[in-house]
Amino acid sequence: MTGGDFCQQDDFYIDPANKTSPRPLLLSESSFINLTWDIPAIPYNSHNNDEEALTRQTLSSLLYGKGSSPDSWSHAWSRKRESVFFIGRNNDPFRLQVACEVNVLEPPLSRKLYISDAGEEKRWRNNCTEKAAQLQRELGCIARHICRPEPVSADEWQKELLQHKYALDLPGIGPWSARLRLLLLAGSVIFQQTRSFEAAQFYDLLLKRNGVLHQFSTSKELVERVKWFRQHDQVARRIALAGHTFAWHCLTREGIRQFLMTWLRRLGRIISKGRSRQ
């Protein structure tokens, strides 16, 4: 099996013989495949950036460097916290809502689940202070916990991510996720809210279909799923390792290059078949 085949989703591409498929193929960075015709086949521009390079460098020393062993992953997993990680901007109302609800339902899980947009003057429209105070009045969460003014550097964000077994990938500006590749690399069990789960990027359908990414619709459902995994830690560890292994090997520059080359070859075959039938 070649590296390109290992990283592909063989049953995803449109067959021109299927008369329900449109003749044009629209390629995009992301799409809602149940609602639109475009195919998520273009890597987002944040792949292999400095932030990802930092994460890979840290993990290389931790898991694959001198002195590492087949047990390195198990040791790293055992040192992680069993709470949920999400530190992000106030790009979507659902983010603050989840932070509040989890803080009420299961406070220990929400230790590092908050929005860091309370004190950013340049992004005043994203300031979460007023909405956090409203949620505190309505639901009883702690406003100063879910909405914080202190900025979080890339180093701090990465450090916290690597220390958590569970991570959230929540809706943001669009149907793509710049953070998902980092969550996978870090080796966390990843939960996506339904809107994020139903969207697709060039690599994540394979992970959704094989149970590496997990969907939730409400905060209560999220808390229940996390509790289940905490009671079945070996299952959580294997899922996190599967996600890490995929990201480590398939989302490198070379892995993405192989994906694009394989995609172009398959696209060429589709075009050739279409011409031969004319």
* pLDDT > 50? residue 205: yes
* pLDDT > 90? residue 98: yes
- Three-class SS of residue 91? coil
- Mean local confidence (pLDDT), 200-211: 89
- Tell me the two tokens of residue 9: 């989703």
- Opening angle at CA 221, ends 216 and 227, nearest 5: 110
168 is a domain residue: yes
Q: Greatest CA separation found in the chain?
A: 66
In whole angstroms, what is the distance from residue 21 CA to residue 36 CA? 11
260 is a domain residue: no
pLDDT of 175: 66
118 is a domain residue: yes
In whole angstroms, what is the distance from residue 152 CA to residue 24 CA? 44
* pLDDT > 90? residue 25: no
- Mean local confidence (pLDDT), 59-72: 81
- Mean local confidence (pLDDT), 94-111: 96
* pLDDT > 90? residue 172: no
Q: Phi-psi category of 230—alpha, beta or left, where left has phi over 0 and alpha has psi -120 to 50? A: alpha
- Mean local confidence (pLDDT), 220-238: 97
Top-confidence residue, 195 or 12: 195
Please give the C-alpha separations between residue 51 and each of 44, 174, 199, 210, in angstroms, as whole numbers. 14, 20, 23, 27
81 is a domain residue: yes
pLDDT of 274: 58
Top-confidence residue, 270 or 229: 229
- Mean local confidence (pLDDT), 5-22: 47
pLDDT of 121: 62
Instruction: State the pairing for strand pair 199-200/31-32.
Output: antiparallel
* pLDDT > 60? residue 93: yes
- Mean local confidence (pLDDT), 78-97: 93
Burial class of residue 78 (count of CB atoms within 10 Å of its CB; 0-12, 13-18, 19+): exposed
| Confidence at 271, pLDDT banded by 50, 70, 90 | low
Which residues span the domain enclosing 126?
50-56+74-253
157 is a domain residue: yes
CATH of the domain at 228: 3.40.50.2000
192 is a domain residue: yes
164 is a domain residue: yes
| Confidence at 227, pLDDT banded by 50, 70, 90 | very high
157 backbone dihedrals φ, ψ, rounded to 5°: -60, -45
Rounded percentage of the chain residues whose pLDDT exceeds 70: 84
pLDDT of 15: 47
- Mean local confidence (pLDDT), 43-67: 83
pLDDT of 24: 57
Spatial contact of 157 and 122, defined as CB atoms under 8 Å apart: no
266 is a domain residue: no
Spatial contact of 126 and 93, defined as CB atoms under 8 Å apart: no
pLDDT of 235: 97
Average pLDDT value for the chain: 84
Can you give the length of the chain in residues?
278
Top-confidence residue, 277 or 126: 126
pLDDT of 77: 94
pLDDT of 260: 84
pLDDT of 182: 93
Number of domains in the chain: 1
